[in-house]
């Protein structure tokens, strides 16, 4: 991969990040992520398909409800006159590609409004996006860095305060369509491998003013039409829905994986759509990250992952970088068992803490996340190769592989026969689930 050289270097003092291994004390080196290391016949790079999220990394200044930003981005500075929005966007693009190439990530992801500025009119905003898309295409060509997915921001502008595809006002729904159309066009132009819908404000605060049935139907219509347009425009990738249970609205329609899969099947969208699972959204929904991944895997709808983590002591979407290897092991076991990420990837939808203000911090945060998943992949691979988990699991369900249990799974028993089988038995076996043993084995393999 070629290092990107723009008009100016933004991340000075940081060179290309390399794999140095566990003995290295260099904070700007990978300890576990060795992109060319082969696992199960594929390189780590091909397994993990890492992506950088444009919004957190190049737009997030650290502002929170109690104070403004703590990071001033050099690509937005100007000594004399105030720099216009398009120049800022161009500089930001240079900075982003410099960062991607120094970090050696194969992919990035963006919202329309992250890469190009919103203008006075929708038409001008679309023109802005088209211009920046052309520039991004050149930089992709130069570096070999690819677009994992594109999406449209249908939640920041005030007109979306009541949602986009579920807005009670039709004109606003239509404005969302014009944005999604342009974002799909940009994704096609940049050969993006997926297109994401996160239902930003698709939900409600109070039933007293909400026609939930109509809103859900409108959302389904909107998604079907977007799908049809995308296919017509030449988009061959996967459409993804990213569940999240709350924040910004109280009741989000895409609550969790099971809800979204039910919705997609209800409206016959399940052939074109898969899911993008974000770790912190899973925990917000009261689930574990792996639960959400497994629900998708079982439905053959595991599309991609937004890799981050929440904070165990609070219930927000804190979007921290993932560091917990125990969790990445569990996640990668689900991914490997599901046959891999396919055209999806591991996108760091994660932000620096507000007081992380050094230029290096953005690199260090991504290095930590990449190492955590790389080690997770290695450990998951050796755990699966050892067969301990599959053996224990298969023994646990062995009663369904013989005799009446087998007949039951084949649909060869009726309910009365099922009930009669039990009457013949005098004792019912208590078989240990052995959860502690399995947990201990993961700890053991972490250090093997
Ligand atoms: C917000 C979401 C968002 C999506 C893309 O919580 O995670 O960042 O990934 O719109
Ligand atoms: Ni996300
Ligand atoms: Ni999030």
Give residue limits of the domains in the chain.
Answer: 18-386, 389-446
Between the CA of 353 and the centroid of ligand 1 the distance, in Å, is 17
Say if residues 211 and 261 touch (Cβ distance below 8 Å): no
Å from CA of 243 to ligand 3 middle: 10
Q: Is the CB of 371 under 6 A from ligand 1?
A: no
Q: Is 151 in the pocket of ligand 1 (CB under 6 A)?
A: yes
Say how many Å lie between the CA of residue 410 and the centre of ligand 2.
40
Q: List the structure tokens of 32.
A: 């576990």
Which ligand is nearest the CA of 109, by number? 1
**Tokens describing residue 166:** 């579920």
What is the maximum alpha-carbon separation in the chain?
A: 90
- pLDDT on residue 314: 87
Q: Is 114 in the pocket of ligand 1 (CB under 6 A)?
A: no
| Run of H or E including 242 | strand 238-242
Whether cis (ω within 30° of 0) applies to the bond prior to 195 is: no
Q: Which of 242, 292, 344 gets mutated to test ligand 1 (max ligand atoms within 8 A of its CB)?
A: 242
State the pLDDT at residue 229.
98
* Confidence tier at 396 by pLDDT (50, 70, 90): very high
**The dihedral of CA 270, 199, 317, 148: what is its sign?**
positive
pLDDT at 81: 58
User: Percent of the chain having pLDDT more than 90?
Assistant: 96
Ligand 1, atom nearest to 347 Cα: 9
Residue 335: both structure tokens together: 């991914």
Q: Which CATH superfamily is domain 18-386 in?
A: Divalent-metal-dependent TIM barrel enzymes (3.20.20.150)
- Round to whole Å and give the CA distance between 98 and 143: 9
Omega before residue 248 within 30° of 0, cis? yes
On whether the CB atoms of residues 279 and 307 are closer than 8 A, the answer is: yes
- The residues annotated with a catalytic role in the active site are 111, 114
Cα–Cα separations (whole angstroms), residue 20 to 146, 263, 369? 25, 46, 16
Instruction: Please give the structure tokens belonging to residue 186.
Output: 């940009």
Question: pLDDT of 242-260, one tens digit each?
Answer: 999 999 999 999 999 999 9
CA distance 409 to 95: 57
**CA 274 / ligand 1 centre spacing (Å):** 16
Q: First and final CA of the chain: distance in angstroms?
A: 32
Quote the pLDDT of residue 108: 99
Nearest ligand to the C-alpha atom of residue 317: 3
Q: What is the pLDDT of residues 95-153, one digit of tens each?
A: 999 999 999 999 999 999 999 999 999 999 999 999 999 999 999 999 999 999 999 99
In this structure, the number of other CB atoms found within 10 A of the CB of residue 84 comes to 11
pLDDT, tens only, 16-25: 999 999 999 9
- Asked whether the predicted pLDDT for residue 78 surpasses 70, the reply is no
Average pLDDT, the chain: 97
Question: What's the pLDDT score for residue 76?
Answer: 87
pLDDT computed for residue 315 by the predictor: 82
- Which ligand sits closest to the CA of 281? 3
Q: Does residue 434 surpass a pLDDT of 60?
A: yes
Residue 83: per-residue pLDDT: 82
* Paired tokens of 428: 């019912």
Using alpha carbons, select from 72, 214, 190, 70 the residue that is nearest to residue 140.
190
> Is the CB of 349 inside a 6 Å radius of any atom of ligand 1?
yes
The pLDDT assigned to 139 comes to: 98
Per-residue pLDDT tens digits for 157-175: 999 999 999 999 999 999 9
Specify the 3-state DSSP secondary structure of 356. Answer: coil
Residues with CB under 5 A from ligand 3 (ion): 317
C-beta of 278 in contact with ligand 1 (< 6 A): yes
| Cα torsion angle, 367, 369, 372, 377, sign | negative
Contact 57, 49 (CB under 8 A): no
Distances (CA, A) of 110 to 26, 126, 147, 192, 434: 30, 15, 8, 10, 43
Torsion over CA: 388, 392, 393, 399 (sign): positive
C-alpha torsion 329→277→29→91, nearest 10: 180
Distance of alpha carbon 443 from alpha carbon 344, whole angstroms: 28
- The answer to whether residue 79 scores a pLDDT higher than 60 is no
What are the pLDDT digits (tens) for 296-345? 999 999 999 999 999 999 888 999 999 999 999 999 999 999 999 999 99
Q: Which atom of ligand 1 is nearest to the CA of 198?
A: 10
The preferred substitution site among 60, 194, 200, 303 for testing ligand 1, maximizing ligand atoms within 8 Å of CB, is 200
Which pLDDT belongs to residue 80?
A: 60
């Amino acid at each position: 991969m070629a290092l990107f050289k723009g008009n100016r270097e933004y991340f000075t003092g940081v060179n290309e990040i390399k794999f140095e291994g566990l003995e290295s004390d260099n904070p700007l080196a990978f300890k576990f992520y060795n992109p060319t290391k082969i696992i199960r016949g594929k390189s780590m790079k091909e397994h993990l398909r890492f992506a950088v999220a444009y919004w957190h990394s190049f737009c997030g200044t650290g502002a929170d409800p109690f104070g403004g930003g703590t990071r001033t981005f050099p690509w937005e500075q100007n000594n004399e006159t105030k720099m216009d929005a398009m120049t800022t966007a161009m500089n930001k693009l240079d900075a982003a590609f410099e960062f991607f190439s120094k970090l050696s990530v194969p992919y990035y992801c963006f919202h329309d409004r992250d890469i190009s500025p919103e203008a006075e009119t929708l038409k001008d905003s679309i023109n802005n996006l088209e211009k920046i898309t052309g520039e991004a295409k050149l930089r992709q060509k130069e570096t070999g860095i690819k677009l994992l997915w594109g999406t449209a921001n249908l939640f920041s502008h005030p007109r979306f305060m009541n949602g986009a595809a579920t807005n009670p006002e039709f004109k606003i729904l239509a404005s969302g369509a014009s944005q999604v159309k342009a974002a799909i066009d940009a994704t096609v132009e940049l050969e993006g491998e997926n297109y994401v819908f996160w239902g930003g404000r698709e939900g409600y605060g109070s039933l007293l003013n909400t026609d939930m049935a109509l809103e859900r139907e409108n959302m389904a219509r909107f998604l079907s039409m977007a799908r049809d347009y995308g296919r017509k425009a030449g988009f061959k990738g996967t459409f993804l829905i990213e569940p999240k249970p709350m924040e910004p609205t109280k009741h989000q329609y895409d609550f969790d994986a099971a809800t979204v899969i039910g919705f997609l099947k209800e409206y016959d969208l399940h052939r074109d759509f898969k899911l993008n699972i974000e770790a912190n959204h899973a925990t917000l929904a009261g689930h574990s990250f792996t639960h959400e991944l497994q629900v998708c895997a079982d439905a053959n709808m595991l599309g991609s992952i937004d890799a981050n983590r929440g904070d165990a002591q609070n219930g927000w979407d804190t979007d921290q970088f993932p560091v917990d290897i125990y969790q990445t092991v569990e996640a990668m076991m689900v991914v490997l068992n599901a046959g891999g990420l396919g055209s999806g990837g591991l996108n760091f939808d994660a932000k620096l803490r507000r007081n992380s203000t050094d230029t290096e911090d953005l690199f260090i945060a991504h290095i930590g996340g990449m190492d955590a998943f790389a080690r997770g992949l290695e450990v998951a691979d050796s755990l699966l190769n050892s067969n301990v988990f599959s053996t224990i699991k298969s023994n646990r369900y062995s009663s369904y592989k013989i005799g009446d249990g087998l007949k039951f799974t084949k649909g060869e028993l009726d309910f009365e026969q099922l009930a009669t089988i039990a009457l013949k038995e005098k004792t019912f076996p208590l078989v240990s689930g052995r959860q502690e043993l399995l947990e201990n084995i993961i700890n053991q393999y972490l250090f093997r």
